[in-house]
Amino acid sequence: MLKGKTALVTGSTSGIGLGIAKALAQQGANVVLNGFGDVDAPRAEVLAAGHGTDAQVAYHSADMSRSADIEDMFQYSVAQFGAVDILVNNAGIQHVASIEDFPVERWDAILAINLTSAFHTTRLALPAMKAANWGRIINVASVHGLVGSAQKSAYVAAKHGVVGFTKVTALETATTGITCNAICPGWVLTPLVQKQVDAKAQALGISNEEATKLLLGEKEPSMQFTTPEELGALAVFFCSSAANNVRGVAWNMDGGWTAQ
């Protein structure tokens, strides 16, 4: 379905971004990976997912808090594959603390990586998408783009910003073949959430299993994690022609979290 298209997925060496990159490669899209840590294993996973299609995989190490790095990554992606047809703004970090104790440097980093980076990638992607009259921009927001949780001021502010930015991007492209939508996951068991499970287990002196149950029970009625594979399938739907007129939505996949 996506043969000949190229997807740039930020923060795709791990977790949700990796799940989305694999799902897009499975559909035949070339993928530019980005993120920190080991690159060989995620690259191999994405290549394996695209096996049997012509999907190729490249990687750029841009730090999403730096606009110059993001510009480099765009030039690199175009040089590798000719264009960025699908942009998935996924890179994100978390920090948990009350507002008065929130480290200023962490606030700035969360806003830069979780929100401002999507402005930079989108402004760089739109001219070529408009020239081609086709494009897909998928912003990985969160249930925290729709509702708040105590101790997560920077993250909630950034994710509400992402949902707002998604709507404006959708409006500015509404008469074109470009769509922009947000995905709002509830809990997904990635390294970002495992850290929160570990912190809970340590603070309360309980096992990892008990802490996991507690974490889900506080917010997610289904008592189940959403998986990167399920989120990948939703991203593939947004890229399909069936979603040509799905514009500016914030689609939660959250086990009922925001239905409460």
CA distance 202 to 213: 14
CA distance 163 to 238: 16
- Positions in 50-89 near ligand NAD (CB under 6 A): 63-65
Whose Cβ is closer to ligand NAD: residue 12's or residue 27's?
12
Asked if 224 interacts with ligand NAD (CB under 6 A), we say: no
Separation between Cα atoms, residue 44 and residue 31, nearest integer Å: 12
Judged by CB under 6 A, the number of residues near ligand NAD is 29
* Residue 188 binds ligand NAD, judged by CB under 6 A: yes
Q: Which of residues 97-126 bind ligand NAD (CB under 6 A)?
A: 113-114
Whole-number minimum distance, CB 255 to ligand NAD, in Å? 11
Tokens of 151: 């101790």
Instruction: Check: CB of residue 62 under 8 Å from CB of residue 43.
Output: no
Residue 61 or 176: the one with the smaller Cβ distance to ligand NAD is 61
Q: Which amino acids are annotated catalytic?
A: 155
- Measured CA to CA, the distance from residue 203 to residue 188 in angstroms comes to 21
Q: How far is the CB of 62 from ligand NAD (least distance, A)?
A: 6
Nearest Cα residue to 160 out of 115, 123, 196, 119: 115
Nearer to ligand NAD, 4 or 13 (CB): 13
Residue 113 is classified by DSSP as: I
Task: Look up residue 58 and give its amino acid.
Answer: A
Nearest CB to ligand NAD, comparing residues 7 and 188: 188
Our CB check for ligand NAD shows the closer of 29 and 73 to be 73
Smallest gap from Cβ 37 to ligand NAD, in A, equals: 5
Distance CA 198, CA 205 (A): 10
Residue 61: CB atoms within 10 A of its CB come to: 14
Q: How many CA atoms lie within 13 A of 135 on its CB side?
A: 29
The interface with ligand NAD within residues 132-161 (CB under 6 A) comprises: 140, 142
**Contact residue for ligand NAD among 6, 7, 8, 14 (CB under 6 A):** 14
List of residues contacting ligand NAD (CB under 6 A): 11-17, 34-37, 63-65, 90-93, 113-114, 140, 142, 185, 187-188, 190-193
